[in-house]
Amino acid sequence: MVVPSTPLDGLDSSQAEMMEELVLSLDSDDNVIDSSSKFTTHHGEGILHRAFSVLIFDSKGRLLVQQRSSDKITFPAVWANSCCSHPLDIDGENGDPIEGVKEAARRKLNQELGIPRTITNDWKFHHIGRFEYKCRWDSDWVEHEIDHVLIVEADCEVDFNRNEIQSVDWLDNDSLIQMMERKGRWKSQLIAPWFEAIFHNFLGSGKFSIDGIISNTNSEIIRCGNLSIQHPANSASNVLAALSQHREVVEDIIHENLSKIQQKRLRGAMSHLFTGGGKRLRAIMPRLVGEAVGNGHQGHYTLGACIEIIHNFTLVHDDIMDQDPIRRGLDAVHVAYDDPTAINAGDAMLALGFEMLADSSHIHDSQLRHVVSAIGQMVRHVAEGQQEDFEFEERDSVTEGEYISMIAGKTSAMFETSAETGAILAGADSDTVANMANWGLNLGLCFQIMDDYIDMTSDTETLGKPAGSDIVQGKRTLIAIHALESGADLPTFHKLFGTESTDDSELAEAVQELNNNGSIQYALDRAMEHHRIAHGCLDQLEQTPAVDLLRDMTDFQLVRIN
């Protein structure tokens, strides 16, 4: 017998289970007429039901906001107010409307944010009004609510439930306005439509005092009608367009300099990986940084080409050390040629990179020493990171701090140096140079941790290998480290870790164990933390279209497949 599929198939089991809860169905005047499951009220055309939204302001006047978990069935990963949910058809929540939403708020504040009832029982919830709206997420799911808005003034600590929430922040007035105007780090974020309705109808579009809001309550239902979620500009498209614009110039400089190599076989080995294409992200980053902090010029292209050639030198040697046969869909250089030629080609590429800098008429002598020093340190850090990675394979345990230190060298150093030297050539002051180096470092950390995350969460067709292949390879990724340190019972993960098993069904079980254990979510949380720090670095710059492009590049790390 074939069991028919349902709209909940394949969705998070905890979230799917909550779809069975009974919420309060309403008439248009907020009178309860029935109770229906969350599934029924949110699926298809939906049913009008009661909801609440809590706004928690601390003593500094900052509002607590949350980013909903990507596991949520409706409106996943959107940013919203402190807490929002539904009163249920249970004692204490299905009686008086205002007291019911307050009781429901206490329940959800504990379940979502980890704020216990021993604290919220003493809070004064101010009911400031209600509004009706309807908003569709997709063809399956919809919200149609009369939403009761509650304000609380309290200083509190949160320990949020990662199945419900993936990030929180406290925003002052100016930051809240930035958020709603999609400026700065909010440029590419999804904002909950009901939160926008609260902002415009109850918070005076951001120019407000909390006392003024509380004293100006509204007993009428504000009819907001049909709302829509505003999807941000496509960061990936913006970045790819910028890369396309600059790539040809960098490619020409790379091939012009590779043509200096007179020995034919050596030149072929040095050029081999460049025939496999690539986004040239690191190569173009110096120019984009230069444009964002001052002056982008021809020297940035030479610098980028230098870093790209040196990057490929590290790949050639990595493939020899790891005996990896494939790189960018091509035979690795040591396979296409031989080990001695590949080693020689890598050495020549490193030398050529520095020669290009010294020969450039667009890089001032006053800047050259600083740039050469930064790139030399980059190569050293990459080598140190690579050595640490080797040694991790022989160790019984690796700490999270050691892993972050390793990827800061092996992966992030090139992002850091591309940004740092791009700022140097643009003539930026020392504080700006340091700030951009910090941006690049956190961009690179986000990049690598997202690689770990993508390996666990993408499908086989997208990855070109089974999801979770890092497990059977025994890679000490952040996810594996979290799992190994947790002490949790993960039988299939422990059985497969480092075994080179080809049993895809067991591998899928191991990935599910890591998901249930929170190890996969933990890696995403850490990636998001470095993403937030990177945007904070960009906040320190004058906001221009060139800076917006760096923001797109920062967000690109969250959606790209390396």
In a domain, 67, yes or no: yes
Distance CA 508, CA 270 (A): 39
Question: What type of residue sits at position 67?
Answer: Q
Asked if residues 181 and 81 have their Cβ atoms less than 8 Å apart, the reply is: no
Percent of the chain whose predicted confidence (pLDDT) is above 90: 65
DSSP letters along 178-223, please?
Answer: HHHTT-GGGTT--B-HHHHHHHHHHSGGG---HHHHHHS---SEEE
Residues 67 and 173 occupy one common structural domain: yes
Segment 207-232, tens digit of pLDDT: 678 888 888 888 899 999 999 887 76
Q: How many domains does the chain have?
A: 2
10, pLDDT greater than 70? no
CATH of the domain at 133: 3.90.79.10
CATH of the domain at 323: 1.10.600.10
Q: Write phi, then psi, for 221 (nearest 5 degrees).
A: -80, 120
408, pLDDT greater than 60? yes
Whole-angstrom CA distances from 491 to 122, 496, 497, 509 are 44, 9, 10, 9
| Residue 409 structural domain | 235-444+542-556
Residues 67 and 135 occupy one common structural domain: yes
Residues 248 and 379 occupy one common structural domain: yes
Residues 263 and 201 occupy one common structural domain: no
Distance CA 378, CA 386 (A): 12
Residues 222 and 240 occupy one common structural domain: no
In a domain, 176, yes or no: yes
Give the domain-ending residue among 171, 192, 227.
227
Give the domain-ending residue among 172, 198, 227.
227
Asked if residues 478 and 526 have their Cβ atoms less than 8 Å apart, the reply is: yes
Rg (CA), the chain: 27
Buried b or exposed e, range 85-124, using 16+ CB within 10 angstroms = bbbbbeeebbeebeebbbbbbbbbbbebbebeeeebeebe
Segment 97-151, tens digit of pLDDT: 999 999 999 999 999 999 999 999 999 999 999 999 999 988 889 999 999 999 9
Whole-model pTM: value is: 0.75
521, pLDDT greater than 90? no
Distance CA 336, CA 159 (A): 53
Tokens representing 425 are 């050539």
In a domain, 475, yes or no: no
**Rounded mean pLDDT, 372-378:** 96
Buried b or exposed e, range 189-221, using 16+ CB within 10 angstroms = ebbbbbbbbbbebbbeebebebeebeeeeeeeb
Asked if residues 249 and 301 have their Cβ atoms less than 8 Å apart, the reply is: yes
In a domain, 77, yes or no: yes
Residues 174 and 36 occupy one common structural domain: yes
In a domain, 216, yes or no: yes
In a domain, 156, yes or no: yes
Residues 307 and 423 occupy one common structural domain: yes
**pLDDT score, position 77:** 85
Instruction: List % helix, strand, coil for the chain (3-state, nearest 5).
Output: 55, 15, 30
562 pLDDT band, cuts 50/70/90, is very low
Give the domain-ending residue among 196, 227, 258.
227
Distance CA 321, CA 255 (A): 26
Cβ count within 10 A of residue 333: 27
In a domain, 506, yes or no: no
Determine which helix (DSSP H) or strand (DSSP E) holds 485, and give its type and residue range: helix 478-486
**pLDDT score, position 52:** 97
Higher pLDDT, 521 or 360: 360
Residues 304 and 169 occupy one common structural domain: no
In a domain, 140, yes or no: yes
Residues 161 and 239 occupy one common structural domain: no
Residues 272 and 189 occupy one common structural domain: no
**pLDDT score, position 296:** 92
Residues 221 and 239 occupy one common structural domain: no
Residues 343 and 373 occupy one common structural domain: yes
Distance CA 416, CA 414 (A): 5
